[in-house]
Structure 1
Amino acid sequence: MQTVKYAEQKLVGCGKKSKPLTVLLAMMCPGAGHLYLGEALRAAWFIILFGTNSLFLLYVIMSVNVLKAPLVIAISVAVFVVYICNIVGSLQQVNLINIMDRLQYFEDNEERCA
């Protein structure tokens, strides 16, 4: 039982990723939270999705004259959904990375003791 307490104390200093920093980065710029976590491909998808939706929204607002309101609302909802999925996805990913890091740490300690 004492080895578990020691392992938990040592875990604080290992390579954990910060949840608040991940969420803050994801909120500031979609995809930045995933880049912080090392998920470059997933970050690229969120950057592309958010960027194209935003540019399409600007295009519709500036040029289309007929049926503008429903189209603007639909695209705004799509932008919002991508934004929220980015934040929730980065939060889930940081939890998964921290759990996997913790499991790897305990597996390494068990191998040393055996």
Structure 2
Amino acid sequence: MAPKPAERIEAALDKSKNFDSLRDKVKDALNSEQDKDKANRVKVKMSDSEATRTKCQSLLSKLEASCNDVTGGNLYWNDIESTFNEYSAGIDELDSTYRDCLDILGVKP
């Protein structure tokens, strides 16, 4: 049985909270990294992910407003599902990128 929309939203929001802490962890580890090659690889990955991060922030704002309409009965899940799927894919991409960066730096997530 597929998860209910509320469960999917909750899971995505939990992951988005997690990626902020992962991002901070990457930044902290990067500041203390002595190996220039590792640091440069991570900087490139972080820079490449910035557009996705910005897009996710924009989509999250839309979703937060839409979720109120869905729970209030003014919108249906189908009306926001494609936006949610795009947001969820972006969150997954960021999570993977930050975990890769931590791996490069030799830090556990």
Q: What band does the TM-score fall into relative to the shorter chain?
A: 0.3 to 0.5
| Bigger radius of gyration among the two | 1
The one of the two structures with greater contact order (alpha-carbon pairs below 8 A, sep at least 6) is: 2
TM-score by length of structure 1 reads: 0.41
TM-score by length of structure 2 reads: 0.42
